[in-house]
Amino acid sequence: MPSEKPYLIRSVRLPAAVEKRIETDFTALPPPDAPLDTAAMLALAEQQKAFAMLVTHHCPLKGADVAAIPDCVKLVATVSVGLDHLDVPALLARGIKVCNTPDVLTDCNADLTMMLILAACRRAAEYYTLMKDGWGRTLEMDEMLGIRVTGKTLGIVGMGRIGQALARRARGFEMKVLYHNRRKLDPAQEEGATYFENLEEMLPHCNILSLHMPATAGAPPLMTARMFGLMPRGSVLVNAARGALVDETALLDALRSGHLFNAGLDVYQNEPNPNPSLLALPKIFMTPHTGSATVETRTAMGMLCLDNVAALAAGKPLVTPVTA
């Protein structure tokens, strides 16, 4: 680190170990009590002459906001893998470098996805509600039955790092794994999965479908009524990627009709206020966009952002640059 500690600002409070490193190695105000929005961060960057801005989805930087970033800012470091909240080309055009946090989220996101699969198939939301209400009676032999995960066919849409990690976990449940991706992977990366170039041809074979691809701004949902109709009756949808990938009206129709047995969701079209109709369905297992929410992963994400700030301040290449 140079003798003069670089000044950074952050839009959210970070895990304790990350905050301790900020206190030791950087110049910064105390962490905010609540997430800061874009306007607050831009004002703070100007006031504090910040060298780097650490942001999350709470602080989108697009359009006029990019133009409003003061010239003192040399780096926007997002504490995420996803870049939906950033206009990367505009930032780079202004000469502001961008970095994110790939790789360190992979295992925890795959773990959460496996939890969603198990919870959706075994009706965990209903079981939990029953127990919180006091249980009180013996269940009938044919009452509140879930579906077995072991031996089922899992379809993965998007076979990147997280998709591959999920495929490895699925093998422990003796699942047959299929995948759809922009390209066929090398056999060493396929984790024993079978490739389908056409998603529509893969869907009829999927007892469980898990989404692991980015969403393109303004693009229509990937999973529509027609796509749900191609899945077998009684199948399960899991989405821990992006809410925009799913037409939630079509999902509700498929669940209410019984065409889909259940769903496991970590992401939604409207966050943090998901569709009340989804919340009202008793079987859906839902989590609040928490794929990376472990001490280990959130700490690693914050540390990686700080590694990037330190590298740039020292005149070295970024550790995890975003270039396009």
CA nearest neighbour of 161 among 292, 259, 60: 292
Is 156 a residue whose pLDDT tops 50? yes
Q: What per-residue confidence (pLDDT) applies to 185?
A: 98
Average pLDDT, stretch 236-259? 98
Clarify whether 271 is annotated catalytic: yes
Please give the share of the chain, as a percent, with pLDDT higher than 90.
96
Give me the amino acid identity at 314: A
Residue 1 has pLDDT above 60, yes or no: no
Interacting residues of 4 by C-beta distance below 8 A, sequence separation 6+: none
3-class DSSP state for residue 61? Answer: strand
CATH architecture of 8-104+294-313: 3-Layer(aba) Sandwich (3.40)
Tell me how crowded residue 270 is: count the other CB atoms within 10 A of its CB.
11
Answer whether 259's CB lies under 8 Å from 233's CB: yes
CATH of the domain spanning 106-286? 3.40.50.720
Residue 190: the pLDDT is 96
Q: Which of 242, 248, 256, 296 is catalytic?
A: 242
Based on the residue annotation, tell me whether 289 is a catalytic residue of this protein. yes
Residue partners of 250: CB distance under 8 A and separation at least 6: 221, 223, 224, 225, 228
Domain locations in the chain? 8-104+294-313, 106-286
Report the 10 Å Cβ neighbour count for 170: 26
Asked whether 10 and 30 are in contact (CB, 8 A), the reply is no
pLDDT value for 217: 79
Name the active-site residue from 23, 174, 197, 271: 271
CB 49 within 8 A of CB 7: yes
Q: What is the DSSP letter of 135?
A: -
The reported pTM is: 0.93
